[in-house]
Amino acid sequence: MKATIAGWYDDKGNQGEDFQGCDFGRTIVFDNNKILHCTGYSYEYGYKPVAVILSNGSSYKMIVTSTVFDMAR
C-alpha cells in the first residue's frame, strides 16, 4: 500500500506536519487517516513524502525514499 505521510505526534504532546523519521513511540499519521507507530529510531526528513507500507499480517515495515522503518499498528 502507498500512502502520503500527513504528520506525526508523540506521547509528550509534540507534533508536526513534516516527516522527521521515527523515534520510539512516535505515531505517524497518513492522509487516509490511518496511523502506524514507530518501534525503532531512524532519521529521514521530508514534507508529506509518500510511504510504501508492507505487512505480513503481524509486523509492518514503512519505506520512505530508501529508508526502512519498523512499525506497529
pLDDT in tens, 9-30: 999 999 999 999 999 989 999 9
Q: How confident is the model at residue 40 (pLDDT cuts 50, 70, 90)?
A: very high
Q: Are 33 and 41 in contact (CB under 8 A)?
A: no
Distance in angstroms (rounded) separating the CA atoms of residues 7 and 23: 14
3-state helix, strand, coil in the chain (%, to 5): 0, 55, 45
In the prediction, which pLDDT does 63 show? 97
Average pLDDT, the chain: 94
Look at residue 70 in the predicted model and tell me its pLDDT: 96
Rounded to whole angstroms, how far apart are CA atoms 21 and 64? 9
- pLDDT value at position 62? 97
Q: How many helices (H) and strands (E) does the chain have?
A: 0, 7
Looking at residues 26-52, what average pLDDT do you find? 95
Give the start-to-end residue ranges of the domains of the chain.
2-72
Which H/E stretch holds residue 71?
A: strand 67-72
